[in-house]
Amino acid sequence: MPYNYFNTGEGGGIYRRRAFACSWQQPTTMFKNLFKGFRVMNILGIALGCFVTALAINLFLAPNQVAPGGASGLAVVMHHLFGLPVSLGLLLINLPLFILAWFLLGPRFGINTLAGSLLLPAFAALTEHLAPVTSDLLLASIYGGIIMGVGVGIVLRSQGSIGGTTLAAQLIHKFSGFSVGQCLLVIDFFVVTLVGIVFDAELALYSLIALAVSIKVIDLVQQGLRRAKAAFIISDRADGIAAAVLEQLQRGATLLEGRGAWSGRDKEVLLVVVNSNEVAKLKALVAASDPDAFVIVADIHEVLGEGFSRQAIKRGEESGRIR
């Protein structure tokens, strides 16, 4: 627990008292921290993602009483229980949680989180008059989950957040010791269980379908559809294979030093990263150069660098190219 120290005055004595746990700051400092990391393109991306998410809620999920966990699912339940508009429910959940997170967890929840917390209710209000696309529960769960996943994925790719249960999970994590992932799982399970109690068990099952679909789509949007492969090639002719990779595949390669555990001999290990459609050509190239080479091919979720994604890397992080 942090302490503040004070001088008592003429006697020169010093006493201490416990500092308040809240991260209170001067208004000017708080305002600066709020806008720390502000980027116009990020805000535009967050706005687009929130708009897509609002469409998923109002066109597919809310009209069919499908609540795929999180703040949006809780807002859907509140809408059917108390007649509150989904947009108002989202605002009542998001805004207090943002304020609590700001004061209790610090200024890392800045303008991007605030934008998501406010824009999602705003777009939900603008689109709540639209007619539902379907009344089929399975179609609503699948397509609602897909569109919601796309929207939330765009927000996350824009370094933002839609607030809600993410902030709640951070708060529970701080005071309970459970991981953020565990807290999110418990919150989502609570919302889906609430659907089963308030509506019926069948709707809870459809809500689970929407939740599972949205999680998968979020991962796809964040990681992209392009899949890369990493090949580890152990060969006595690593230099020749590296030259062929550079010339024929137009890919870089990295030579690593290794040693066989059984033979004790020093070996060169070649690391090559290629797209999925280049794997067959790489295998043929290795076989032509050294039929006895040992090749391991592994999936890679994301590659940043020349020849792949050219996303900006944050200042201060180590960056490099595979050569």
For residue 266, what pLDDT is reported?
82
* Pair of tokens at residue 291: 């039929």
Is pTM beyond 0.85? Reply is no
For residue 12, what pLDDT is reported?
47
CB neighbour class for 186 (10 Å; exposed up to 12, middle 13-18, buried from 19): middle
Residue of higher predicted confidence among 319 and 108: 108
Asked if the model's pLDDT at residue 204 lies above 50, the reply is yes
Asked which of 46-60, 128-142, 165-179, 283-297 is least confident by mean pLDDT, the reply is 165-179
Fold of domain 228-300: Alpha-Beta Plaits (3.30.70)
pLDDT band at residue 8 under the 50/70/90 scheme:
very low
- Average pLDDT for 184-210: 91
Domain definitions of the chain by residue range = 27-223, 228-300
Asked if the model's pLDDT at residue 322 lies above 70, the reply is no
Alpha-carbon distances of 230 from 194, 282, 299, rounded to whole Å: 44, 11, 6
Q: Token pair 């900006």 is at which residue?
A: 312
* Pair of tokens at residue 15: 């006493």
Contact 46, 112 (CB under 8 A): yes
* Pair of tokens at residue 222: 């964040």
For residue 32, what pLDDT is reported?
53
Q: Which pLDDT tens digit goes with each residue over 37-74?
A: 557 888 899 999 999 999 999 999 999 999 988 899 99
Helix, strand, or coil (residue 234): strand
CB neighbour class for 80 (10 Å; exposed up to 12, middle 13-18, buried from 19): middle
Residue 149 to residue 182: CA distance in whole angstroms:
20
Residue 141 to residue 269: CA distance in whole angstroms:
48
Residue 20 to residue 189: CA distance in whole angstroms:
33
Alpha-carbon distances of 4 from 14, 17, 104, 156, rounded to whole Å: 10, 6, 18, 38
Average pLDDT, the chain: 80
Contacts of 108 (CB under 8 A, 6+ apart): none
Query: Across 110-114, 281-285, 316-320, which has the greatest mean pLDDT?
Result: 281-285
Q: Which pLDDT tens digit goes with each residue over 111-131?
A: 778 888 899 999 999 999 999
- How many CB atoms are closer than 10 A to CB 183? 20
- Average pLDDT for 169-190: 82
Q: Which pLDDT tens digit goes with each residue over 232-273?
A: 999 888 888 988 888 888 888 888 888 877 888 888 899 998
For residue 1, what pLDDT is reported?
44
Residue of higher predicted confidence among 171 and 205: 205
- How many CB atoms are closer than 10 A to CB 309? 12
For residue 308, what pLDDT is reported?
61
Contacts of 106 (CB under 8 A, 6+ apart): 23
Q: Token pair 């999680």 is at which residue?
A: 215
Alpha helical stretches, state H, the chain:
27-34, 40-56, 70-82, 86-105, 111-127, 137-157, 165-176, 180-198, 201-223, 238-244, 279-289
Q: Token pair 């708080």 is at which residue?
A: 30
> Which residues are bridge partners to 215 per DSSP?
none
